[in-house]
């Protein structure tokens, strides 16, 4: 870490935030895995086939937006969509994790929004290019406070919902996931070592839609508000 700082002394951003803050921020250098089309009705609403194996993509730690901070509409898109998703945090390092042991690798869950620049994503996909810029941009992953799974009455069946300006626009149930969190952990860990602190966005149910400046999004796990962000 110190060597890294030494090598980057002239970097303007590091000068700006200061070495001390950078060390504090280093705990956020986790991997963020996201799953596409994990709810059949959402795959259909975008005109996609229901997948036969998980579709995995990634975001970066710079995509995280925490503490109910505002989301600033980026100037590179005219069609930012919300996608509300259950997010599991990895609590143990592992590789080639068998599905039947996967539950040892997570113990907390929250809600996150997989903000998507739908216009960029579709343009990339149509041209056969990776959709990275439409998905992984800065602040595209607001997350709420994590909740211990053992504090939930039914950790295997989690209901959640998103309100836009007070109106319910998405409702989900973890039982409707095509690939369970255990299956996803097994699949992802075949290719990537999972490490403590890594996050898995498990895909969105139907009802995705556009946001506009002035909107407020609120995400509820059951009846509990876990995440709120205003679009500025
Ligand atoms: Mn998504």
- Scanning the structure block, which residue is given the tokens 């609403």? 45
Q: Ligand 1 centroid vs 147 CA: distance in angstroms?
A: 20
Closest CA to 40 of 175, 181, 164, 169: 175
Q: Ligand 1 centroid vs 84 CA: distance in angstroms?
A: 7
Considering the chain, what percentage of its residues have pLDDT values greater than 70?
88
Residue 50: pLDDT band with limits 50, 70, 90: confident
Dihedral (Cα; 11, 12, 14, 15), 10-degree rounding? 120
Domain count for the chain: 2
Helix ranges, 99-180 (H): 118-126, 132-135
- Whole-number Å distance between alpha carbons of 114 and 55: 14
Q: Ligand 1 centroid vs 153 CA: distance in angstroms?
A: 26
Q: Ligand 1 centroid vs 102 CA: distance in angstroms?
A: 22
Q: Ligand 1 centroid vs 151 CA: distance in angstroms?
A: 26
Same domain, 204 and 138: yes
Considering the chain, what percentage of its residues have pLDDT values greater than 90?
82
Q: Is 152 helix (H, G, I), strand (E, B) or coil?
A: coil
Q: Ligand 1 centroid vs 204 CA: distance in angstroms?
A: 5
Same domain, 23 and 52: no
Q: Ligand 1 centroid vs 232 CA: distance in angstroms?
A: 21
Q: pLDDT tens for residues 103-162?
A: 999 999 999 999 999 999 999 999 999 999 999 999 999 999 999 999 999 999 999 999
CATH number at residue 124: 3.90.850.10
Closest CA to 57 of 84, 40, 36: 36
Same domain, 8 and 57: no
The answer to whether 114 and 134 are in contact (CB under 8 A) is no
Same domain, 122 and 186: yes
């Amino acid at each position: 870490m110190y060597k890294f700082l030494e090598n980057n002394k002239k970097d303007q951003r590091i000068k700006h935030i200061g070495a001390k803050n950078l060390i504090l921020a280093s705990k956020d250098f986790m991997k963020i895995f996201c799953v596409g089309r994990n709810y059949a009705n959402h795959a259909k609403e975008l005109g996609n086939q229901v997948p036969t194996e998980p579709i995995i993509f990634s975001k970066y730690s710079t995509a995280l937006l925490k503490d109910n901070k505002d989301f600033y509409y980026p100037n590179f898109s005219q069609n930012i969509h919300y996608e509300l998703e259950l997010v599991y945090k990895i609590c143990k390092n592992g590789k080639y994790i068998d599905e039947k042991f996967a539950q040892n690798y997570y113990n907390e869950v929250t809600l996150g929004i997989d903000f998507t620049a739908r216009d960029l994503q579709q343009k990339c996909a149509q041209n056969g290019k990776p959709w990275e810029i439409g998905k992984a941009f800065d602040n595209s992953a607001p997350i709420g406070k994590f909740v211990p799974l053992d504090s939930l009455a039914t950790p295997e069946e989690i209901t959640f919902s998103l309100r836009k300006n007070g109106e319910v626009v998405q409702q989900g149930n973890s039982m409707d996931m095509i690939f369970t969190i255990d299956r996803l952990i097994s699949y992802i860990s075949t290719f990537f070592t999972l490490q403590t602190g890594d996050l898995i966005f498990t895909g969105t149910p139907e009802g995705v839609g556009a946001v506009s400046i002035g909107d407020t999004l609120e995400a509820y796990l059951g009846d509990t508000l876990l995440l709120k962000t205003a679009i500025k």
